[in-house]
Amino acid sequence: MAQSAFQGFYGQISTGYESNQLGAYSGSSTEIPNIKTDTQSSRASQTFGGAPLVFGAGYYWQASEKWLIGAGADYSALSQSTSSYSQNINNANGNTGIASGTTVTTNGSSVQLSNRFNLFITPGYAIDKDKLVYVKAGYSQVSTQYNRATSVTRTANGIATTTPATGGNQRSNQGGYLVGVGYKQIITSGLYGFVEGNYMGYSAPSYSYTSATKPLNTLNGVSSSGARTSTASFSSLNTYQVLVGLGYAF
């Protein structure tokens, strides 16, 4: 067999469908000094996705007549976000800030993923000089932004009152691993088409932030000023991709 058409540098672009699976949420809010207003919250896992736009580049070495060894990188240019969601807030154990018969709900929270990049090795098997099947394995990182609630609804005796919340966002980078499989075929003179499937597993996103409480907080007859620390944690983050695209082998 002649030298593979994929030996050397390549650049490519692809799209398709991406599914992100965000694990169950748990949150807490703790005030120091404690005036019985600590809370906790939870929410089931969420799935969200859309069409990505992925740019990639790399290099293949021809190790033998049939086998190539590659190294590459790619970058996802579009962000993916959950829809805006609400969640119920409950008293933490031993706290009484939310009166019996009253429900408190936060509104407007969401999670956004962006700036995903992958670094990988990609061994390939040359079916013939114009066709290549390959696998991928490597490191993946994605930026996760937790957008905090923008309002709070308190319902008591059938009357709902909604007030603005501090809002804002918290950001972190989640690292993890990538595995994938794909197929490339030359169309003409270095131009090729490809199809690829990828799975990425990340560390669980977790956030913590502190805000000052107002002086003379007289809830439950206690006056104080202090700080409220809140946490937001998700049990897992995983991503599946199915991509189709075009590239050029130099």
- CATH number of residue 172's parent domain: 2.40.160.20
- Whether 226 is covered by a domain: the verdict is no
Residue 57, CA distances (Å) to 164, 169, 228 in order: 46, 33, 47
At residue 218, the pLDDT reads 47
- Whether 51 is covered by a domain: the verdict is yes
pLDDT cut 70: percent of the chain above it: 94
- Whether 225 is covered by a domain: the verdict is no
- Whether 56 is covered by a domain: the verdict is yes
What average pLDDT does the segment 205-227 reach?
65
Whether pLDDT at 250 is above 60:
yes
Q: Which residue range forms the structural domain that includes residue 138?
A: 8-23+47-86+103-204+235-249
Model's pTM, two decimal places? 0.88
63 phi-psi bin (left φ>0, alpha ψ -120 to 50, beta other): alpha
- Whether 34 is covered by a domain: the verdict is no
- Number of independent structural domains in the chain: 1
- Whether 53 is covered by a domain: the verdict is yes
- Whether 155 is covered by a domain: the verdict is yes
At residue 216, the pLDDT reads 42
User: What are the two backbone dihedrals, phi and then psi, of residue 117, each rounded to the nearest 5 degrees?
Assistant: -135, 150
- Whether 1 is covered by a domain: the verdict is no
What average pLDDT does the segment 172-189 reach?
97
At residue 2, the pLDDT reads 73
At residue 213, the pLDDT reads 60
